[in-house]
């Protein structure tokens, strides 16, 4: 899922300080699971903003809505009838949701209430870690199901490098070396022969380096 | 947040004793939520100490009473919730001269 974390309340207050009417817009998907931008967080942020403006002696209208997804046109349509009631939208969806809302309602300022971080997994309660960088050319079949692009700090395709020590990465003693994880997994799978195979130079044009990406599925288009 | 937004001077959440929750980790999750909210209340200048979480079993009346007294004392020490003061100001009747003009 896409992992995000809440922006500090002070930063959000500074962004919306001149508004008279604000819509706090949540999303029911990834940001709900990582407890950064779902319905509960919408309630919490809206309440915090109301209390802030009350203390300022200002009457600011704070609306609350949570959409099924902010990255789909059909769900964004659900706020068409109320969007004009507000000066600004604070979207606490991921960066995709913030941008898609802004695209849909071109004349309305839409600002983020979260920082979007990465595509990751929920390791334990309150712990998420990165697993995928969407490089567009998946290598997991040859790397024992562990991604050298997202798990190795240097994104080395034939590792480990000299900075791997006692199974940890040189950039952080707490961070497992991605290549150590790959080797351990290949051993467990009895597939160490795969480790001897040189992974060829990767075509990075399918990654972000090739510019903003787009998928057009002719089989799905209407 | 809602009770404090309505002007409550303090709020305490009571959960089962740690390790005794029917929902296993429900009380730990609530505790984490309370901690998060306290930080927001501090940032807003309302004071995180207005919010507290206590753990006790449903049959533990004496502890319940002790926590209630503790929270009561804390609220007296902290004074009124600034939101209550702000709400009272908002509801303040218009000045006498304005009322007379309308009459």
Report d(CA B70, CA B75) in Å as an integer: 9
Model confidence at B26, pLDDT cuts 50, 70, 90, reads confident
What gap in Å lies between CA B7 and CA B13, rounded to an integer? 17
Q: In sequence order, which residues have a C-beta less than 8 Å from that of residue B63 and are 6 or more positions away?
A: B54, B56
pLDDT digits (tens, 9 = 90+) for B79-93: 999 999 999 988 776
- Separation between Cα atoms, residue B103 and residue B97, nearest integer Å: 10
pLDDT tens sequence across B51-67: 999 999 888 999 999 99
Chain region(s) in chain A for CATH 3.40.50.2300: 2-118
Query: Three-class SS string for chain B?
Result: CHHHHCCCCCEEEEECCCCCCCCCCHHHHHHHHHHHHHHHHHHCCCCHHHEEEEECCCCCHHHHHHHHHHHHHHHHHHCCCHHHHHHHHHHCCCCHHHHHHHC
Counting Cβ atoms within 10 Å, is residue A169 exposed (0-12), middle (13-18) or buried (19+)?
buried
Distance CA B77, CA A143 (A): 61
| pLDDT surpassing 70 at residue B101 | no
Question: CB–CB of B1 and A52 under 8 A?
Answer: no
Using the Cβ of A127 and the Cβ atoms of chain B, whether some distance falls under 8 Å is answered with no
CB contact (8 A) between residue B86 and residue A9: no
Nearest to B83 among A44, A51, A59 (CB): A51
Q: How far apart are CA A113 and CA A41, in angstroms?
A: 10
Distance CA A22, CA A38 (A): 17
Percent of chain A having pLDDT more than 90? 98
| Chain A residues within 8 A of B86 when measuring between CB atoms | 54-55, 57
pLDDT of residue B100 exceeding 80: no
Task: Say if A55 is an interface residue toward chain B (CB within 8 Å).
Answer: yes
- B4 and A51: CB-CB below 8 Å? yes
Distance from CA of B88 to the nearest CA of A (A): 10
Omega cis (within 30) before A105? no
Locate B53 and state its tokens: 């979480």
pLDDT for A209: 87
Domains held by chain B: number: 1
Q: Which of B43, B48, B85, B88 to mutate: most A Cβ within 10 Å? A: B43
How far does the CA of residue A210 sit from the closest CA of chain B (Å)? 40
Share of chain B above pLDDT 70, in %: 91
CATH number assigned to the domain with residue range A2-118, chosen from the 4 options 3.40.50.180, 3.40.50.300, 3.40.50.2300, 3.40.50.720: 3.40.50.2300
Q: Is the dihedral of CA A101, B2, A17, A30 positive or negative?
A: negative
| A48 interaction partners in chain B (CB closer than 8 Å) | 1, 40, 44
B31-49 tens-digit pLDDT = 999 999 999 999 999 999 9
- Report H helices in chain A: 9-16, 30-33, 39-55, 73-76, 95-104, 148-151, 178-189, 192-196
Q: Domain range spanning residue B98?
A: 2-102
Q: Does A125 touch chain B (CB under 8 A)?
A: yes
Gap from A89 CA to chain B (nearest CA, Å): 20
State the pLDDT at residue A147: 97
**pLDDT attached to residue B89:** 87
In this prediction the ipTM stands at 0.82
Chunked into runs of 10 residues, chain A (222 residues) has average pLDDT values of 97 97 98 96 97 95 98 97 97 98 97 98 95 96 96 96 97 96 97 94 91 95 92
Cα three-residue angle A101-A18-A8, rounded to 5 degrees: 65
Residue B98 has pLDDT above 80, yes or no: no
Whole-number pLDDT of residue A193: 94
Comparing CA positions, the residue from B15, B9, B10 lying closest to residue B32 is B15
A44-94 tens-digit pLDDT: 999 999 999 999 999 999 999 999 999 999 999 999 999 999 999 999 999
- Look at residue B90 in the predicted model and tell me its pLDDT: 82
Interchain contact, A55 vs B44, CB within 8 Å? yes
Q: Confirm if B86 and B45 have CB atoms less than 8 A apart.
A: no
Inter-chain CB proximity B45 and A44 less than 8 Å: no
Contacts of A32 (CB under 8 A, 6+ apart): A26, A38, A39
Interatomic CA distance for residues A139 and A204, integer angstroms: 12
């Amino acid at each position: 899922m896409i992992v995000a974390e809440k922006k500090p309340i002070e930063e959000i207050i500074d962004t919306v300080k001149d508004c008279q009417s604000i819509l706090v817009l949540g999303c029911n998907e990834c940001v709900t699971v990582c407890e950064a931008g779902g319905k509960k967080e919408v309630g919490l942020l809206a309440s915090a903003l109301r209390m802030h403006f009350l203390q300022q002696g200002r009457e600011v209208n704070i609306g609350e809505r949570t959409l099924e997804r902010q990255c789909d046109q059909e769900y964004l349509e659900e706020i068409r009838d109320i969007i004009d009631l507000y000066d600004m939208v604070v979207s606490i969806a991921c960066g995709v949701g913030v941008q898609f809302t802004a695209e849909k309602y071109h004349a309305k300022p839409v600002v983020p209430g979260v920082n979007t971080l990465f595509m990751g997994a929920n390791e334990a309660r309150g712990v998420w870690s990165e697993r995928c960088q969407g490089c567009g050319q998946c290598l997991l079949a040859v790397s024992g199901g562990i991604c050298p692009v997202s798990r190795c700090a240097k994104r080395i395709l034939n590792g480990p490098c000299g900075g791997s020590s006692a199974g940890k990465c040189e950039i952080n003693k707490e961070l497992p070396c991605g290549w150590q994880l790959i080797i351990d997994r290949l051993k467990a799978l009895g597939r160490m022969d795969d480790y001897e195979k040189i992974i060829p130079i990767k075509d990075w044009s399918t990654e972000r380096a090739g510019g903003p990406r787009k998928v057009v599925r002719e089989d799905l288009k209407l | 947040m809602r009770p404090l937004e309505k002007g409550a001077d303090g709020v305490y959440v009571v959960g089962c004793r740690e390790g005794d929750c029917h929902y296993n980790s429900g009380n730990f999750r609530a505790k984490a939520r309370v901690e998060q909210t306290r930080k927001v209340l501090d940032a807003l200048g309302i004071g995180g100490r207005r919010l507290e979480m206590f753990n006790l079993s449903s049959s533990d009346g004496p502890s319940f009473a002790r926590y209630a007294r503790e929270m009561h004392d804390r609220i007296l020490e902290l004074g009124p919730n600034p939101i209550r003061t702000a709400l009272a100001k908002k509801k303040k009747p218009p000045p006498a001269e304005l009322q007379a003009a309308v009459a």
